[in-house]
Structure formats: structure tokens, C-alpha cells
């Protein structure tokens, strides 16, 4: 790509006239560049493509999986096993290492594609003017100074300053989040504007929705706004997932405990004159006992099952750990359009010239339901509004205008005709058709005779229709344009003079509606007996009769209010971040109850320069306490995420456009839209909403909390018996200098217990009241002090029971080392399996609780007991695991030692509920 010395250095092009732009770029806007000059500039500036950020190679990803302390310790144990001839133990440890490494490798490999979508956006053709001729070229060949020609449907290939338009409108939502296409102009702007307000600029990656335009290219490739965002995406790194941090810290602590015990035992053993092989074998046993080999497998499977369940609820999780991180989310930064709102404009308010205002309920589930305004169709003002809505309109409706299309067959949905045209005009047609279908049909049947399409300079459009008596002229447009073209005003059915004072009062009403966050159009009409001549088409929208104003709103989704209420109850802060107008954002915020009572007397919205000033000054109080940020740039979104993360918040960020990609990548959880999201947004995100609904985010958070609770539960389960194994080995090894449990036996037992019962705990339904609790503090470890107390208690009880049986067989029965080993193994194996019933909450019923109602627990126990006794009765497996044939007396001791811990623990839980 180009270096800094070759940039065009044209700043604030929107403040510069196109004549000055042409001079600065040494180009002729009537002819364009010559082919020779274009080739020269291509060498100077480079191709018009985005920088390719180099990702990690397959080998780098693989290497990252093996460079961690757990792998080192288990690898050392495997090597020692092979050196001392314990081939089965060495092979078993290697298998565990391979499984864990492959799971981690696959998960990270799929996350290495975040830039592919941006590259694909470059593969387009563009029409330019060179040597006075129009040419279609590869967009990568465009250079600064080229004259870009754009038409409806074109994807804009470079940043360019407009110098000619014909009804040009551009969808800039991928960059700005603006829900309505922007009407483009040619005049230089007089003051600094945010990205969404630069009406004379075309931006790379946006799309032309209507009209035609010509523009001078001034930035290509990485120098464009899209290039700046691409640079942010490539440069930003996501903080490590909280669950990863906590699991890594936990396993590192276990490693140090294991190494400490092994070192102490080695010192005592050498002083006592014991053989080095016995000491090494004990160290290997401790290594296997200390490390929950199945932990990453079970955590991954539990999270994967969470992914599957969420997929059924319209949430696609791309990264396993993201499920858990959702449960820790403390702040949700959400886009407005399409997430909190329906992304469908609706008629909200009608203000007629008799001072009558009609506010329409836009939150109805289906616009085919009749509104409650009960306006009489015979009312002159209202009838003219309906008539102008249909006649001064270039949009068309599809076969199905309702919002409820879920029941249609997929084939029918694909084949049906879609609504086509400007969103405001579609909203008008839908309103009239759904509320007054007879009038809609009547007006649609009238014959259009003349047409004046919308022009961004005039800001009006209109049409002439033939009626039984004369002609009807319908006009609509910006309030200032319609009032200037109106000579009379309709009051109580009579046409009266429209004085300048009255016009000023209507402009104030227009401003009031705009401050409410509504998009406003003015309506006017005229009746005439004579059809305007063809050469007078541009003049027939004069001397009109003013009818009133119409306000439009993108209504909130019905489920959003309840979802936000649930977030507040769960201690989660919801912040709206949008590129839209401050008034619109505030209006939506009020409708969805985003603001608390304490917010009512505060500044609810922060936007533009004020937002940047707060970020530059690190004004934490203002940033933390503002519920709505509007006119937000991509860099500001990123800065907001960073600010909240620095304050210790776990952030979730929703987005759909290219402008959202850096913040989506930086947030702890990036949430992209599935229906309207750009590919880059979906690529860099952690999860995708298939229905684009805010309610689905809340469902995902609830499920994330349940998943974390389940993960914590099975970790307590695993660590308690792993600690008991360490204590059993330590106690008996230090007192009798014999190894009560062999490494291969421990590996076999832990692979059973670590996977099946632990996995069953990990997929439980969880606590139904989980959303009534505040989020955990981000710094809270995966196991808190109370959890460690539980683990210690469980481990000690297990150790005392199993070691008691071992000592009893040693001192009372004087059994052989082999039989004592089998007593320790089978009593511990059964005790570990039934220990799963100790994982119930203390407040739950002893026999009816989350554990006993979990069918997977019973299935897991059946599998484990079957595997355990199969190993005992199959001679080949029994020989490898050093099993002996045991008589009834021995089995009686095993059963007592195995069941005693669950009886003791359940009794303690019953007596001391508050500690559990």
C-alpha cells in the first residue's frame, strides 16, 4: 500500500468547493484524467484496496496450544513414564494431550478470518471518466483525481467529492448507522460536520439507492474512511476471555501445589533411602491427580451445548468461551436501528392546519390492526393527507405489507415482491393501505398526468392526477420548501391566506417534531381545471394549499421494554450508541424506558464534539452516567469500549455496519446482526443475532450466567476429588512410603469422572432466578472463598473415608499391597461418582433438585459404572490396571468407604445450609 509521503493530503474535502478540489487534484471534472496520468498515479498512490493484515499461520496457532505450563507438566509426566518403561501410562497421557491440543487449535483456527470480508468488498467494477470517455474498470485501478460516475444500485469504490447530482441518495448505514438514505448535494459545507452530515461526499463501501451522480475521487484504499476503519480492525486486539484467564490461573495454582508436594516427597524419600523409580512414579501420580485432564474437554462441550441451545433462540455463538463471558457482561452497548427498533419507518404524528395533532400508536404488533385515532375519513384535512400520501409517492408495495411474514412458506417468501422505494414513502403507503384500504385502492386507480420527482436542491416532489372534475396536484417535501410554495392554508375546510407569520409558526412546529426525534414532511395540494403543459412541469408545485406536517418514527421492537427492564433487574447497564440524530435517539430511549427516574433531569444524550471532549478529558462521570450516545464515529465507539473496559466493565457491543467492526472486535463480546449485518461485522464478532433482536441478547446473557454456574459447579466437583486424590497419595505415601493409587489407575478413573458426571453437571438447566442477581465482579475468580472451603471440606471427607479403609485393611486385615491398592481404587472410584449428588444447592430438596432431575447425570453414572466393572471383569484391562480378584468382605469395605462421604456431606449441608 502507499506510504505516508504519497497521500493526497486533502483534508475536509466537504468544506472545499469542487472547483478547488479539481485544481488541487490536477484533474478536469469534465474530462477526467488521461490514461497515462492514471497509470502514473497508480504507481504513486498504489492500488485502491485495503491493507491485508497478516494473520497467524497454522503452525503459530498450533504452537500457542502447546506453550503453556499444563502441557509442560503432563509432557514431563509422559516422558518419565516412557523412560521408566510404563508404556501404557505414557500413551494414555499423550492421548489426553492430543485431545486437548486439537480442541484448542480448532477453536483458534476458525477465529483467524476477520479481514476476509473487507477484502471481498474491493472486488467490484466502477464507471469512471477518462480522456472524456466513460469506462468500466476494476475498482482497484481507481486513483485520486478520477471522475467517478455512480448510479442507483452501485457500490461506491472510493471517497469522492460530489459535483453533480440528479436525485442522488446513498445508503450510508454501513458507515454511520443512519437508517434512512442520505440525499446528496454539491455545495461546499460551511462548518465542520460529523461523518453522517457530510452531504457532498461519497464514501467507499456505501451504496447508491437512487439517482445519479458525478464526483472527484480524493482518497483511495487505506486513505479512505473505510480504510481507516480497516486499520482499526487489524490493529485492535480483543482482551483475553475472562473464563480463559480464570481457568489458566486455576491450573497454574494447581501446578505449583503439585510441584511443591512432589519436591517435599522427593526430599523425604531420598532421606529415607527410597528408590528413585518409586519417587518418580509417585510424582507422576501426583501430576495426574492434580491436573483435571478433562476440564478443558468438559468446559468446551458444556459451552458447545450452550451454543446449540442459543442457536435455537436465534443466537449464533462463534467462539465457545463467549457463552460464559456473556454471563459476566456488565454493560451492553447497543445500536438503535433494527436492534432496539424495527428498522421500518412508520407514520407517528399528524399535525393539521386546524391545530389538530394525531399521535398514532406505532408499537402495535401488526400495522394491519386499526389505530385508535378514529379519524373521520370525511375530515378534509385527513382525507387530503391520505390522498397526498398515495399520489405524491413513487414507492411501491410488495404483495404482503404486514410485518408478520413468519407463517408464509419459505418458497413464497422468496418469490414475493418486496417493497421498493424511499422508506418514508413506503411508510405512507403502508399506513393508508392498512388503515383505509378502500381509499388506498380509490387513489391508486387515478391516472398520473405529470410528475416532478424529488430533487435534493428543491427538497420537494409532486404529481398531477386526473379526476372526474379537473386535476389534483399533490405535493410533499421539506417543511421550509412546501411552506415557501404554498399561498394558502386549509383551516376548518376553508382555504385561507398563508401569511409569513403563520408560516414561521409552522416552521416552529416542524422544529418541535424534529426535536422529538421524528423525521418530518410537509403536505400540500392544489386543484385546477387545466392540465399543466409539459414545459411547465417544474412549475406546477406553486401556489399550493398547505395541509400540515407528518412525523415518522422507526418504532421500538415490542419486546425491548421488557428486555431492558430485565437487564436493569440483573444489574446490567444498557447504553445506546448510534450514528443517528440526538433527538431521534432520545425519543427512542424514552419509549423503551432506557432512562431511570434519576436521569430525567440530566442530559440524556451526548453526541459529536461534546462526546469527543468527554473522551479527550477522560470525563468518567459524564461518560458512565450518559445512557445515549448519538452521532458517534467508529473511533469514538472504540474509545467508549476502551474507557469502560479500563474501569473494569465487561462490555458487549452490538453492530451491523463496517463502522462497528473495530468496536465489535475490541469489546469482550462482539454481537453482529444476522439479517442486516455486513459480512465484516459478522466476521469479527463473537456472536450473531439471526433475528437482530435485543431480546435475544438478554436470552444469551441469561444462558451465559447459567453456563457459568454449571461450569463452577463441575469445577468444584472435579477439584474436590482431585484434591482428595492428592491428599490420599500424600498421606499414605508419607506415612507408609507406598503408593496407594497407580498413575494409570488415576488416569482411567479421572477420565471417567472428569468427563461424564462433570459434563452432565455442565449441561444442567441451572438456577431459574439467575437474572435476579447482579453480575459477578469481573475480577472475581472462577472459584471464590466459599467455593474453596467447599472443595476443601469435600476433599477431606473423601480422603478420611478412603484412607481409613486403606489403613484398616493394612493394620487390621494385613492385606497385601495389591489388595490395598484395589480397595483404595474402587472405594475412591465409587465415592467420586456418587459425589456428584453433593453438588445440589443447600436450599434445594434432598431428593428433588437440579442434580437428581438431570437425566444426563443418571446416564453418566450408568456409563461410568458399566466401564468401571467392565474393566474389572475383562482380564486384559484388569491386568493393565493391576486389578485383583476381591472377595465379598473386601467389597463390603469398599461400599462402606465409598458411600460414607456422601452421607457425611449431605448431613453437614443440612445442618449448615448458610455456608453452602
783-827 pLDDT per residue, tens:
888 888 999 999 999 999 999 999 999 999 999 999 999 999 999
Q: What is the pLDDT averaged over residues 580-597?
A: 83
615-659 pLDDT tens trace = 888 888 888 888 999 888 778 888 899 999 988 888 999 887 777
42-99 pLDDT tens trace = 999 999 887 655 556 777 767 766 776 667 767 777 787 777 676 776 777 787 778 6
444: pLDDT strictly greater than 70 = yes
423-436 pLDDT tens trace = 889 999 999 998 88
| Mean pLDDT over each residue of the chain, to the nearest integer | 80
At what angle are helices 321-328 and 295-311 packed, to 10 degrees?
80
pLDDT at res. 18: 85
28: how many CB neighbours lie within 10 A of its CB? 15
Sorted by sequence, the CB contacts under 8 Å of residue 446 that are 6+ apart come out as 391, 465, 466, 467, 472
Strand partners, 164: 214
pLDDT at res. 430: 92
178: how many CB neighbours lie within 10 A of its CB? 23
When pLDDT is cut at 50, 70 and 90, the band that residue 6 belongs to is very low
pLDDT at res. 873: 93
506: pLDDT strictly greater than 90 = yes
Residue 335: active-site member: yes
At what angle are helices 888-911 and 817-834 packed, to 10 degrees?
40
Q: Which range (316-325, 469-478, 538-547, 699-708) has the least confidence?
A: 316-325
pTM: 0.65
330-374 pLDDT tens trace = 999 988 877 888 878 899 999 987 678 888 877 654 444 444 444
Among the listed residues 146, 159, 335, 754, the single catalytic one is: 335
pLDDT at res. 371: 45
d(CA 364, CA 357): 19
Q: Give burial (CB, 10 Å; 0-12/13-18/19+) of 1.
A: middle
Residue with cell 386526473: 466
Whether the CB-CB separation of 716 and 851 falls below 8 Å is answered with no
601: pLDDT strictly greater than 60 = no
Cell digits of residue 345? 419507518
Strand partners, 451: 463
The pLDDT > 90 percentage for the chain reads: 27
Whether the CB-CB separation of 634 and 309 falls below 8 Å is answered with no
More confident residue, 144 or 778: 144
Sorted by sequence, the CB contacts under 8 Å of residue 14 that are 6+ apart come out as 161, 188, 189, 193, 198, 199, 200, 201
d(CA 284, CA 817): 19
Amino acid at each position: 500500500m502507499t506510504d505516508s509521503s504519497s497521500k493526497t493530503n486533502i483534508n475536509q474535502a466537504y468544506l472545499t468547493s469542487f472547483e478547488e478540489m479539481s485544481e488541487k487534484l490536477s484533474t478536469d471534472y469534465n474530462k477526467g484524467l488521461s490514461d497515462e496520468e492514471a497509470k502514473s498515479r497508480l504507481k504513486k498512490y498504489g492500488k485502491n484496496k485495503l491493507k491485508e493484515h497478516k494473520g497467524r499461520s497454522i503452525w503459530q496457532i498450533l504452537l500457542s496450544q502447546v506453550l503453556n505450563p499444563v502441557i509442560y507438566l503432563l509432557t514431563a509426566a509422559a516422558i518419565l513414564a516412557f523412560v521408566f518403561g510404563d508404556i501404557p501410562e505414557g500413551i494414555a497421557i499423550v492421548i489426553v494431550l492430543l485431545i486437548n491440543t486439537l480442541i484448542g487449535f480448532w477453536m483458534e483456527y476458525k477465529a483467524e478470518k476477520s479481514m476476509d470480508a473487507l477484502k471481498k468488498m474491493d472486488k467490484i467494477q466502477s464507471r469512471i471518466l477518462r480522456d472524456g470517455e466513460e469506462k468500466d474498470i476494476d475498482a482497484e485501478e481507481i486513483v485520486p483525481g478520477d471522475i467517478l460516475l455512480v448510479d442507483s444500485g452501485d457500490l461506491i469504490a472510493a471517497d469522492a467529492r460530489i459535483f453533480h447530482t440528479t436525485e442522488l441518495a446513498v445508503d450510508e448505514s454501513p458507515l454511520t448507522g443512519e437508517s434512512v438514505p442520505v440525499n446528496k448535494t454539491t455545495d461546499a459545507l460551511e462548518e465542520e460536520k460529523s461523518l453522517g452530515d457530510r452531504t457532498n461526499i461519497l464514501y467507499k463501501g456505501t451504496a447508491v439507492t437512487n439517482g445519479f451522480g458525478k464526483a472527484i475521487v480524493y482518497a483511495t484504499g487505506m486513505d479512505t474512511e473505510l480504510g481507516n476503519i480497516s486499520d482499526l480492525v487489524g490493529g485492535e486486539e480483543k482482551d483475553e476471555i475472562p473464563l480463559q484467564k480464570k481457568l489458566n490461573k486455576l491450573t497454574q495454582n494447581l501446578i505449583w501445589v503439585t510441584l511443591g508436594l512432589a519436591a517435599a516427597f522427593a526430599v523425604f524419600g531420598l532421606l529415607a533411602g527410597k528408590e528413585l523409580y518409586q519417587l518418580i512414579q509417585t510424582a507422576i501420580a501426583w501430576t495426574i491427580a492434580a491436573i483435571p485432564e478433562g476440564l478443558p474437554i468438559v468446559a468446551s462441550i458444556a459451552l458447545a451445548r450452550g451454543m446449540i441451545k442459543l442457536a435455537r433462540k436465534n443466537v449464533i455463538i462463534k467462539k465457545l468461551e463467549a457463552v460464559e463471558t456473556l454471563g459476566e457482561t456488565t454493560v451492553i452497548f447497543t445500536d438503535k436501528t433494527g436492534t432496539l427498533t424495527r428498522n421500518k419507518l412508520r407514520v407517528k404524528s399528524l399535525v393539521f392546519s386546524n391545530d389538530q395533532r394525531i399521535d398514532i400508536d406505532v408499537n402495535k404488533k401488526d400495522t394491519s390492526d386499526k389505530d385508535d385515532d378514529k379519524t373521520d375519513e370525511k375530515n378534509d384535512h385527513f382525507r387530503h393527507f391520505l390522498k397526498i400520501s398515495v399520489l405524491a409517492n413513487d414507492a411501491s408495495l410488495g404483495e404482503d405489507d404486514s410485518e408478520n411474514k413468519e407463517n408464509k412458506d419459505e418458497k413464497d417468501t422468496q418469490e414475493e415482491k418486496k417493497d421498493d422505494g424511499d422508506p418514508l414513502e413506503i411508510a405512507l403507503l403502508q399506513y393508508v393501505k392498512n388503515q383505509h384500504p378502500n381509499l388506498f385502492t380509490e387513489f391508486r386507480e387515478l391516472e398520473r398526468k405529470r410528475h416532478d420527482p424529488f430533487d435534493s436542491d428543491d427538497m420537494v416532489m409532486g404529481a398531477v392526477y386526473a379526476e372526474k372534475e379537473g386535476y389534483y396536484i399533490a405535493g410533499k417535501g421539506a417543511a421550509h420548501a412546501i411552506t415557501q410554495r404554498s399561498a394558502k392554508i386549509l383551516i376548518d375546510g376553508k382555504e385561507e391566506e398563508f401569511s409569513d407569520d403563520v408560516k414561521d409558526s409552522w416552521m416552529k412546529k416542524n422544529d418541535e417534531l424534529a426535536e422529538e426525534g421524528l423525521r418530518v414532511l410537509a403536505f400540500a395540494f392544489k386543484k385546477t381545471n387545466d392540465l399543466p403543459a409539459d414545459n411547465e412541469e417544474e412549475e406546477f408545485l406553486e401556489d399550493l394549499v398547505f395541509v400540515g406536517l407528518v412525523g415518522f418514527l422507526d418504532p421500538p421492537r415490542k419486546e425491548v421494554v421488557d428486555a431492558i427492564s430485565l437487564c436493569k433487574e440483573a444489574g446490567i447497564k444498557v447504553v445506546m450508541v448510534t450514528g443517528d440524530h440526538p433527538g431521534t435517539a432520545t425519543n427512542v430511549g424514552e419509549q423503551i424506558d432506557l432512562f431511570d427516574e434519576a436521569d430525567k433531569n440530566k442530559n440524556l444524550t451526548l453526541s459529536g464534539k461534546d462526546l469527543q471532549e468527554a473522551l479527550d478529558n477522560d470525563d468518567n462521570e459524564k461518560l458512565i452516567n450518559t445512557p445515549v450516545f448519538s452521532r458517534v464515529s467508529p473511533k469514538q465507539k472504540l474509545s467508549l469500549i476502551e474507557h469502560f473496559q479500563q474501569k473494569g466493565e465487561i462490555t458487549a457491543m452490538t453492530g451491523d455496519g463496517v463502522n462497528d467492526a473495530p468496536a465489535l472486535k475490541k469489546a469482550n463480546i462482539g454481537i453482529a446482526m444476522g439479517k442486516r449485518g455486513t459480512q465484516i461485522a459478522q466476521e469479527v464478532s463473537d456472536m450473531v443475532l439471526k433475528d437482530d433482536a435485543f431480546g435475544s441478547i438478554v436470552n444469551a446473557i441469561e444462558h451465559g450466567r447459567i453456563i457459568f454456574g454449571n461450569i463452577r459447579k463441575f469445577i468444584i466437583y472435579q477439584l474436590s476429588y482431585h484434591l482428595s486424590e492428592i491428599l490420599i497419595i500424600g498421606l499414605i505415601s508419607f506415612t507408609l512410603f507406598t503408593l496407594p493409587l497407580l498413575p494409570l489407575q488415576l488416569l482411567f478413573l479421572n477420565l471417567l469422572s472428569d468427563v461424564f458426571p462433570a459434563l452432565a453437571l455442565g449441561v444442567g438447566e441451572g438456577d431459574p432466578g439467575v437474572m435476579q442477581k447482579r453480575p459477578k465482579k469481573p475480577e472475581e475468580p472462577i472459584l471464590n472463598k466459599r467455593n474453596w472451603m467447599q472443595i476443601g471440606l469435600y476433599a477431606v471427607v473423601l480422603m478420611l473415608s478412603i484412607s481409613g479403609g486403606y489403613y484398616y485393611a493394612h493394620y487390621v486385615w494385613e492385606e497385601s499391597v495389591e489388595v490395598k491398592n484395589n480397595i483404595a481404587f474402587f472405594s475412591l472410584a465409587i465415592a467420586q461418582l456418587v459425589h456428584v449428588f453433593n453438588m445440589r444447592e443447600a436450599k434445594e430438596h434432598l431428593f428433588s433438585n437440579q442434580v437428581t432431575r438431570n437425566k444426563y447425570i443418571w446416564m453418566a453414572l450408568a456409563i461410568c459404572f458399566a466401564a468401571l466393572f467392565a474393566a474389572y471383569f475383562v482380564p486384559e484391562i484388569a491386568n493393565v490396571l493391576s486389578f485383583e480378584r476381591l472377595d465379598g468382605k473386601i467389597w463390603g469395605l469398599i461400599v462402606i468407604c465409598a458411600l460414607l462421604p456422601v452421607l457425611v456431606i449431605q448431613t453437614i449441608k443440612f445442618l449448615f445450609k448458610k455456608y453452602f
